Amino acid sequence: MTSPTPAESAFDRETAVAVAPDADPGRPTWTASLSDAWNIGDNPNGGYLLSPMVQAIRSHTGRPDPLSLTAHFLRPGLGGQPADIVAEEVRSGRRSATVTASLHQGGKERVRVLGAFGDLANVAPLGLDVPELGAEPPELPTPDECRDRRRLEQGVELPILSRLDVRIDPQWAEPGRGGRAEVAGWIRFADGRAPDAVSLPLFADAFPPSLFSLVGRVGWVPTLELTVHVRRPPAPGWIRARFRTSDLVGELFVEDGELWDSTGQLVARSRQLAVLLDDGR
């Protein structure tokens, strides 16, 4: 598959931001036009909502990579509608810039972000004699041997799978039959766009909830907060990912994720606090 140019890539087109013409320099504002092609059910995927915010922060700070990105999802987004994004640089340092941003639609704030952006190509090497550490990727069947996420019984419509190609290890593909709350598999853009640091927060939020394999069909799982640490720029090719929930108290659970690139390097970690709704809505 040939990688599309940014102009051809659905992700780049549908997460593009433009500086608002009357932007206040102390409070820079961007506009975006959100697509409904990234919906989970009736709502845009949370990782998709983050993506134009990441684009705005990159252009504002001149720092390409989200070293740490925390998003609080305040209200569902509105697919197919315009959005305003406001960003504020809290501090700019040598190593990173700390920034906060908000996404608004229909006069209401939908997402609030706090993050530290830097340049992974320029992370200082360590003078100490310590090897790099990074979790080993799990052994998985090949993407072709995995189950296409479109063929899982998930109890919710997934327009997002027109944009993302998600393959699930068959071990975790039967609702309620996995024996524990885990999911692993592969992900890439459906149109062949190469992965980069911007796409990793999206990829960290695009798998079925890992509770699916323990509990069964879980429907819409609202995320209260998602934090992603991008650790390395990913190589081209499939991203391998694993998500696990070992922490469920009442309706609130914490899910941890790890993402590796096609060379087996750990490229991102994620953790989210989310809600398991009784009625699967």
Residues forming the site for its own copies (CB under 8 A): 67-68, 70, 72, 74-75, 90-91, 93, 95-96, 98, 100, 109, 112, 114, 116, 123-128, 130, 132-135, 181, 211, 214-215, 224-225, 227, 229, 231-232, 245-254, 266, 269, 271, 273, 275-276, 278-279
The tokens describing 237, both together, are: 């090719």
Q: How far is the CB of 256 from its own copies (least distance, A)?
A: 8
Taking the complex as a whole, the smallest distance from the CB of residue 249 to its own copies amounts, in Å, to 5
Closer to its own copies by Cβ: residue 35 or 245: 245
How far is 92 from 116, CA to CA, in rounded Å? 9
Q: Which residue, 188 or 231, is less far from its own copies as judged by CB? A: 231
Residues 6 or more apart whose CB falls under 8 angstroms from that of 140 comprise: 146, 169, 184, 185, 186, 240
> Among residues 16 and 273, whose Cβ is nearest to its own copies?
273
Nearer to its own copies, 26 or 250 (CB): 250
Q: Which residues contact 50 (CB under 8 A, 6 or more apart)?
A: 69, 71, 111, 113, 201, 202, 205, 226
d(CA 207, CA 204): 7
Nearest in space to 240 (alpha carbons), one of 162, 166, 163: 166
Within 10 angstroms of residue 140's Cβ, the number of other Cβ atoms is: 21
CB of 276 to its own copies, least distance (A): 6
Which of 91/142 has CB closer to its own copies?
A: 91
To its own copies, the closest distance from the beta carbon of 137 in angstroms equals: 13
